[in-house]
Structure formats: structure tokens, C-alpha cells
Structure 1
Amino acid sequence: MNFKRFGRPAVIAIAAGLALSSCAANEGDVATTGDEASASTLTGTLNGAGSSAMDAAQQAWIAAFQIANNGVTINYEPSGSGGGREAFIAGGTDFAGSDSYLGDDELAGTFASCAPDTKAVDLPVYISPIAVIFNVEGVDELNIDADTLAKIFSGAITSWDDAAIVALNPDATLPAATINAVHRSDDSGTTKNFSDYLGQTAPSVWTEEASDTFPFDGEGAKGTSGVVDAVTNGTNMIGYADASQAGDLSTAKLMVGTDFVAYTPEAAAEVVAGSPLVADRAADDLALDLNRKTTNPAEYPLVLVSYAIVCNEYADAAQGELVKAYVEFISSAEGQAVAAENAGVAPMTSELEANVAAVLATVK
């Protein structure tokens, strides 16, 4: 993991002493299972909301955490990344799950659940490729490059037998049928990651700024499940969704360098491992500047990183301790294994786990 950022010695310094502190954290209440669950002294209710892409992982994490800590109840509403951040900022939840990190305008404001004069931080806890899903009559495999993908979703290419698609798929029988491209209708971090990828790799076509809001007309569907359902049940469809929820749908290969690359959790993790932190953020904020322009075929650049957005100091210290314990679990090796088994996502590297644990050690 490349964590180079000017002015970031604080994170490195904290992480340097992590060998003991992270082990101690993992040996506490959160790690208990089975008969040891009754030994947990944690009690209370946590409310979170946000990313629908990470909902499967959240439900698995919640189940495991509540078994180990049977005095704790956790609720998570997959309302979309934008909705999750809004709810957290307003004090309606204790944490947010978001496929995009807090914007400068959001950080400039106040956070109702946080102690006065303190802010929230972005902690990466979930890595997954975004799959380009499709359901096209007579087509089982699809190669696509960034320019063509951008033209499809911006409305510049409207037919499946367009010359640009045919050139990339000379062996496919592409129908002379209208392309039905489905995007997220709600504010979505998946959309922001998708548009960020297109903006960086097809800038002459996709001229809009990366945003949670899809910038063009077309068919919209709410949530990851809504996009998946629309593509599954429609005709000659294409969409984008967290790969862990693509199900049995066909998925396109993206051109990376000169190769067409299928998504894998491992290829998504490789991109994240080579990506630096976003410049000019607070020392305890771990927002990542993802390397979308890679030409390495071992990397899949259409990837999302979901963040747990938490206060660095909570107005209610008891809630802060609960949030801290839960996020320590989901970002630990044990929690990442739970997500990998139940949602098929890529576990974080040990270095990224260590950096998240270093920040959590300062949360109160």
C-alpha cells in the first residue's frame, strides 16, 4: 500500500507502534465467539446507513459482531452513500458507510454526532470491483474499452451493433437493438467511482466531474439491487454494480493497457495497493486516490473502496466506544475474512488494516 502523502507523518508515527496496540484491540470483547460471547461487556444500539454496495458485507459483519457481543444491537440501512453521509452529518446515525469519501464541502461543515470543533474521518473497510453487467440477447461475452463505455452511458452510442462495439467484439453476434443503459437513480458512491473511472480514462468523452449523481439522462434504478434487477429482467441491458451482487449476470471485460481484463477481487485489491492517499487531508483521514489509469493487466481499475465514516471524537463517549469497537472488528483480519466469505470482496492488505487500526486507536 502506497501511503505517500506530504504532511502525513502522524499516520506513520501512530502505525509504527501498532504491533502491540492492534493485537490488544483484537484480543478484546470484539474477538470473542461462542461461549465467550457472554463475557462481552459492550451494550447499546448503533445505527448506520449508506452504501448499498456493501450491504451484504454489513449484514455479515453485524451478525458476527452481535454473536460475539450479545448486548449490542446494530442497524444498517442501505440508503445509498449520499443518503448515508447526509444522515450521519445530521446526527441521525452513529456512522456512515460510503463508497466515496467525504468531500471538502462536507468536511468544512459540522457533524452533529461529533464533539464540538471536531470532524469525521474516512476509514477504508471494504474493497470491491464494480462490474459492468449486461443482459444482451445472443451475447455471453463482451469486451469494452473506456471510450466506448463512456459513449454508451452518456448516450452517444445507442445500438448494440455500433461499429465501436463490433470492433472490440469481432466474434460476437451483436443485435441491431437499442442499448438500454441503467444507472443509479439515487446519490451513489458506486456512481461516483464509475464516473471517476470514465472521467480519468475517457476524458474526451466523459467530461462531467465525478459525482454521486449520475450526470446524463437514461433509465435509473434505486440502489445496487435495483440496477441488478433492471438488467436481469430487461432486454438488451447494461449497467454497473458492485461485483459482489452481480449474481448470474454476464460481466464485461475492460481494456487495461492492451488487454481485456475480467474483474476479480484480487485484481481490485492490486489497484488499491498501489494507490496513494488523497493529498491535503487531515492526518487521520485515509481517503484513497485510486489509480484508475493503470495499464497493468493484473489490476482492475474500476474498483470502489467503501469507507466507514466516523467521528474522531464523539459527543457521546459511550457511542464512540461502540462505534470504535465495531469498526475495529470490521477492519480487522477476522472481519475482512467474514466479508470475503459472505460478500466475495477483497480483504484489505495488512498494511491498510494497520493504518486503519492506528487511526481507530485515537478515536474516542
Structure 2
Amino acid sequence: MNKKRIGSIAAIAAVAAIALSSCAANESSTPAASSTSTAKPVSGTINGIGSSAQGTAETTWIAGFQQANPDATVNYDPQGSGAGRTSFASGAANFAGSDAALADADLAGSFAACAAGTKGIDIPVYISPIAIAYNVSGVTDLTLDASTIAKIFSGKITKWNDPAIKALNSSATLPDASITVVHRSDDSGTTQNFTEYLSSQASSVWTAPASQTFPYKVGDAAKGTPGVASAVKNSTNSIAYIDDSGATGLSKAKLMVGSTATDISAKGAAAVVAKSPLVSGRAKNDIAVNIDRSLTAKGDWPIVLVSYLIACQNYKDAAVGKEVKAYAQYVTTPAAQTAAAGQAGSAPLSGSLSTKAQAAAATIK
């Protein structure tokens, strides 16, 4: 790792583990080096911090990128979206992974690694459904709607056999047991997207504004996607919101979308993103999606996150800018997107969003 060290000794060890595991994890899924780019290979070391939801995808991308650029090193520490944005703004990270785009307040501030007069930009790189995962004795098929989810996670429903849950699951044997809510303890883009959905679709129940920190004093808190997954696995009668890449081995609820009980799917998440507009008023190379949570077409999954690679428009250090640009261009290629989707269960960028993301990556200097 270069002189821009990130995090504690434990965090550095985590980065090393990810970098090492990426090679083994993707021997069959990493795109061939010839699929990355016709540009000359780059060299050097860049460090990223951010989204734990992106963790599996980043492992896949790092393996593919380093295969094509053997003298380059990319480190990624999945501390969470909030930590990523903060570290990028301070210059402690060369790029960030974030499940929420830079806010107007962020853009009004300064970015230590960026050249004078330039800002950070958002490049969409990862689309994933957010699962409502549960571990309930004797229950293997569960359906919930926005209002009921809001009541559970705000503490208004506290028992699994509550009439509201029973009404949606008439054939299930729901236990007379207390619900253990598990939520993120850290500043999380997954929380931002989850609370945006509830604020939009259950506003009479979910009265707190959408936020990157969980707003209610309910249940147990866990750090990062892996922490939430572990908490649910180890706690009977629990429920959590979690990026689908981290929900392997957990039961996942169906969601009432309109009048249809809908299974979670990356395809449904991608459909919602494809029909959603971009945030207006941004620089041409700052691509942020304004997700429409109200969509109810067959198969839609509106509890979805778009995760971004946040980079400088222009870097103070031209060598860093060159490598970040090369990495962003690689990550947004169809081959890299398909490889990550195979490992993380995410949806590849497609259509105009893919084109815009690739064009934005090409502008980094």
C-alpha cells in the first residue's frame, strides 16, 4: 500500500484480504484481459473506501483490472458509503464507493484530491435490489407491503403474529414471538435507499425523513452488509434490510408491488432504474439517478440501490487520475459489469445509463 494509508491496522488487513481473495474468487468469472481496454496498461496504487454492498463486485473488478494491468494495485476497504464519501472528500481515499450519490451539500464543499476548481463526480457502477431478509421459526414464505415494513422497522409492530402480518400471510404459521429488527449502525447508502422507499410509499407510517443513518431507536444495530447478515443468521425471529449480495443463505420476503406479491430480482431492480430519471442540475459527467420508488409494473422491485464510483473530475496528482480513470473505464465495461453480476447477483448497467457511465469515466483526468 502506498503512503496514503487508509484506516486502522484491522482495516488495512481487510483491504489486503479482499485484494488477495479477488484472484481466487474470480478465476472463472473475471473477464479476459483483452476485454478490458485497448489502452496501454497503467501502473501504481490507488485506494478506495466505501460501500460494503459493492464489496463482492469490487473484489471481482479488482481481479480483472489487475489481470489486465499487472503493475497496478487497487485496494478497496468496505467501511460503508458514508465513510467512503468522507474519506474521498478529505483525500484519504483516491475514490469512493457509495450507495448514495453526492448531495448538493457535498458538491458545495471541497475535495482535497481534486484539482482547483473541480469537484467529485458520481459514476453509476452497481445496481442491486435491497432484500428484506428474515429468520423466523417455521416460516419459509413471507410477504410484506410497504406499510407493514414501515411499522416493523419503526417499532409499531412488535410481534410476528400481528394482524397486519397475518393478513398478508394467511397460510403461514406465524409465531407469537417478538420481532428483532436489525439495522445498519453506520452511515449507510443502503439505509438511505431503504428509507427513501418507506418515505415514499408509507409516509403516513414512516414519518422520519430519508436518511443515511437509521432514524428509529428500534432493534439491534450491525456494521456493514456482512454484519447485518451475521446478525440475522444468528438471531431467531429477526428481520433486516440488506443488499441482496449479502443475503445468501437467508430467507427473503416477497414485496407487494401494486397488487402483486413479487419475488426479489436483479432484473426487477434494473427495470426500476431504467425507468427513473437522472438528477437534474448536475455537471454533464456527474450521473446520479433519481429512483422512482412508485413504479408498480409486473416484476418491478422498487427497494433498489444504485451504487456509484465517486472520483475527481480532475486530480491534483495526474498519475492517480490516470489510474482511477483506467479503473473506472474498466468497471463500466459490459464485460466487467457482467462478471460482477455473476458474483454479486447485481444487475449490469445497460442502455443509456451504461453509455453515460462509460462516457463519464472517460472524462476523468
On whether the aligned pair clears a TM of 0.5, the verdict is yes
Query: For residue 304 of structure 1, what is the aligned residue in structure 2?
Result: 305
**Alignment check: 8 A CA contact 2:150 2:206 kept:** yes
Query: For residue 255 of structure 2, what is the aligned residue in structure 1?
Result: 254
Query: For residue 329 of structure 2, what is the aligned residue in structure 1?
Result: 328
Counterparts of 1:79-98 in structure 2 under 5 Å?
79-98=79-98
**Alignment check: 8 A CA contact 1:65 1:326 kept:** yes
Query: Is 1:74 equivalent to 2:74 in the alignment?
Result: yes
Counterparts of 1:142-291 in structure 2 under 5 Å?
142-217=142-217, 218-291=219-292
Corresponding residue SS for 2:183: strand
Corresponding residue SS for 1:165: helix
Give me the whole-angstrom Cα distance separating, in 2, the residues matched to 1:82 and 1:181.
Answer: 22
CA deviations over 1:174-197 (Å, ceiling 9, x no partner):
001000010000110000000001
Query: For residue 24 of structure 1, what is the aligned residue in structure 2?
Result: none
Give me the whole-angstrom Cα distance separating, in 1, the residues matched to 2:145 and 2:109.
Answer: 39
Compute the displacement of 1:318 (Å): 1.1
Identity of aligned residues (%): 53
Change (3 A) 1:171 1:159: same
Compute the displacement of 1:297 (Å): 2.2
Structure 1 ranges of 4+ moved more than 3 A: none
Change (3 A) 1:201 1:180: same
Query: Is 1:54 equivalent to 2:54 in the alignment?
Result: yes
**Alignment check: 8 A CA contact 2:329 2:362 kept:** no
Counterparts of 1:19-58 in structure 2 under 5 Å?
33=33, 40-58=40-58
Give me the whole-angstrom Cα distance separating, in 1, the residues matched to 2:299 and 2:352.
Answer: 20
Give me the whole-angstrom Cα distance separating, in 2, the residues matched to 1:155 and 1:191.
Answer: 16
Give me the whole-angstrom Cα distance separating, in 2, the residues matched to 1:234 and 1:41.
Answer: 47
Give me the whole-angstrom Cα distance separating, in 1, the residues matched to 2:247 and 2:331.
Answer: 23
Give me the whole-angstrom Cα distance separating, in 1, the residues matched to 2:32 and 2:324.
Answer: 17
Give me the whole-angstrom Cα distance separating, in 2, the residues matched to 1:78 and 1:131.
Answer: 19
Give me the whole-angstrom Cα distance separating, in 1, the residues matched to 2:203 and 2:281.
Answer: 24
Compute the displacement of 1:143 (Å): 0.4
Query: For residue 339 of structure 1, what is the aligned residue in structure 2?
Result: 340
Please, which runs of 5 or more residues in structure 2 have no aligned partner? 1-30
Give me the whole-angstrom Cα distance separating, in 2, the residues matched to 1:68 and 1:350.
Answer: 26
CA deviations over 1:288-336 (Å, ceiling 9, x no partner):
0101011212211000110000111111111111001001111110110
Give me the whole-angstrom Cα distance separating, in 2, the residues matched to 1:40 and 1:285.
Answer: 26
Q: 2:260 corresponds to which letter in structure 1?
A: D
Give me the whole-angstrom Cα distance separating, in 2, the residues matched to 1:32 and 1:252.
Answer: 37
**Alignment check: 8 A CA contact 1:32 1:40 kept:** no
**Alignment check: 8 A CA contact 1:40 1:68 kept:** no
Give me the whole-angstrom Cα distance separating, in 1, the residues matched to 2:225 and 2:258.
Answer: 28
After superposition, the CA RMSD in angstroms is 1.6
Query: Is 1:121 equivalent to 2:121 in the alignment?
Result: yes
Compute the displacement of 1:32 (Å): 6.6
Query: Is 1:131 equivalent to 2:134 in the alignment?
Result: no
**Alignment check: 8 A CA contact 2:266 2:347 kept:** yes
CA deviations over 1:30-86 (Å, ceiling 9, x no partner):
x8728x99x954110010010000100001100111111000011000000000000
Give me the whole-angstrom Cα distance separating, in 2, the residues matched to 1:350 and 1:200.
Answer: 26
Give me the whole-angstrom Cα distance separating, in 2, the residues matched to 1:323 and 1:332.
Answer: 14
**Alignment check: 8 A CA contact 2:41 2:68 kept:** no
Give me the whole-angstrom Cα distance separating, in 2, the residues matched to 1:251 and 1:282.
Answer: 38
Please, which runs of 5 or more residues in structure 1 have no aligned partner? 1-30
Q: 2:275 corresponds to which letter in structure 1?
A: G
Corresponding residue SS for 1:228: helix
Give me the whole-angstrom Cα distance separating, in 2, the residues matched to 1:328 and 1:178.
Answer: 48
**Alignment check: 8 A CA contact 1:40 1:70 kept:** no
**Alignment check: 8 A CA contact 2:32 2:64 kept:** no
Corresponding residue SS for 1:176: coil
Normalising by structure 1, what TM-score?
0.89
**Alignment check: 8 A CA contact 1:124 1:356 kept:** yes
**Alignment check: 8 A CA contact 2:50 2:98 kept:** yes
Matched residues, number: 333
Q: 2:180 corresponds to which letter in structure 1?
A: N
Give me the whole-angstrom Cα distance separating, in 2, the residues matched to 1:237 and 1:32.
Answer: 42
Compute the displacement of 1:283 (Å): 2.4
